[in-house]
Structure 1
């Protein structure tokens, strides 16, 4: 059984009009279906406005879809009661794009990482402090960093704090919503390497939401592409994305090619993806 199943999910926002009436908007998501197996990273690609982040919210239980189901660990996320949803929620974590807005600026690293531990585990203060120190070291920081506040970290360091918080409960699945797009190239490569290492070490599954085909190729086992709210391609073998004839997939490839006007060939994209 798949760890996550997205079954025929459709969603549309309604816009309020004068006198209390509403107007139906074009669908944000249209009949989306895919699955994520244990230990697998699915890279979900798409340009801005493709519906990727909305789908991420639906999967996380933050935005109820108008149609379809989200089945996580065999349970329908939107048919469970609040108690059952909270229990299963520990196995579904998230790392957001903006590492600064994802944390409370008044909380130190120990409090940020310790929040899920306090919510779900019964640990003494000494046990929790030791666990937080180990998590900090696991993501490439030092245990002594737990006393620091968000403004005392660089963007790359703070994203490591967010990753430490996400893995604190040893979840089954982590939704990575553009986790490196706000970082510089050096930090992007380092965070991708860290995520890859954690995936292997903990047997994690990822849903990697991104517009960056090079990053998706580097981290993912499988790839899928969204365009205008539809899933237009799924690639069990990620190499096959380079031979896709769909216009949206070609556009993603061209977005990489555009950085190298003297070598605008698909094979150059392959080389760059494999080099990461």
Structure 2
């Protein structure tokens, strides 16, 4: 098993109002799920469901109050520093906002090269060749390494972020709403690219989104969250259409056909 989330509970602290303080409701409450190597799990939910917080917990960015994150057989939060550093190499992320995810004063070469400099000992020429190859692999040109973020479109810059994420050939990438800010054409291209990279590099994904259509297109199985809990787990993604849970029905109802002409009609298949 590549990843195990075991009974994870997380709260963001207390709210203080003058003379009294009150504990906030848990953002995550007893969440459990698992991911095999090579799988893609679509993690679905509306805004506030807790899915992005769970992504941060999986990445080691938010320590939960209770529960475990077991990655490659190691407890991510109880391991020693050397083990955590090794695990971090195999655990990468692509966030929703492609612009805030990068240093605006850094070139594409510097952005993609950051993990290589942290973990690899490459010569200057070896690193340039590696970055050039990564740019080509995500559909850009080696010459693009000299450009800055403001010289790329949103779709192109997200490709830069993906190139950075795959630079170390990780085991797992958490994709947190990574296509939701893109237009429909760029969404389709990025989803296709992610599927190709997964096949080529043997990657596993946790694909976090509110868009059930996008999740269905790339995932092997689906988990639906509501109020910090997993309320539906579909080991076969087609099971989602038979779900009777209201949270799933809302996600399906929010799915619009691609052409406005058909949006008033009942939903067909994805």
Which residue pairs with 2:111 in the alignment?
112
Which residue pairs with 2:265 in the alignment?
263
Deviation at 1:19, TM superposition (A): 7.0
Q: Deviations over 1:66-124 (max 9, x none)?
A: 11000000000010122321121000000000000000001000000000000000110
Preserved CA contact (<8 Å) 2:40 2:207: yes
1:250 matches 2:249 = yes
Which runs of 5 or more structure 1 residues have no equivalent in the other structure? Answer: none
Alignment of 1:203-218 (within 5 A): 203-218=202-217
Deviation at 1:145, TM superposition (A): 0.3
Which residue pairs with 1:232 in the alignment?
231
Preserved CA contact (<8 Å) 1:210 1:216: yes
Preserved CA contact (<8 Å) 1:28 1:51: yes
Preserved CA contact (<8 Å) 1:14 1:22: no
Which residue pairs with 1:35 in the alignment?
34
Preserved CA contact (<8 Å) 2:10 2:66: yes
Distance 1:245 1:161, change over 3 A: same
CA distance in 1, matches of 2:203, 2:168: 12
Number of aligned residue pairs:
267
Deviation at 1:20, TM superposition (A): 8.6
Distance 1:261 1:145, change over 3 A: closer
CA distance in 2, matches of 1:24, 1:82: 31
Which residue pairs with 1:89 in the alignment?
88
Distance 1:38 1:148, change over 3 A: same
1:107 is paired with a residue of what secondary structure? coil
TM-score between both structures, scaled by the size of structure 1: 0.94
Which runs of 5 or more structure 2 residues have no equivalent in the other structure? Answer: none
TM-score between both structures, scaled by the size of structure 2: 0.96
1:256 is paired with a residue of what secondary structure? coil
Distance 1:139 1:261, change over 3 A: closer
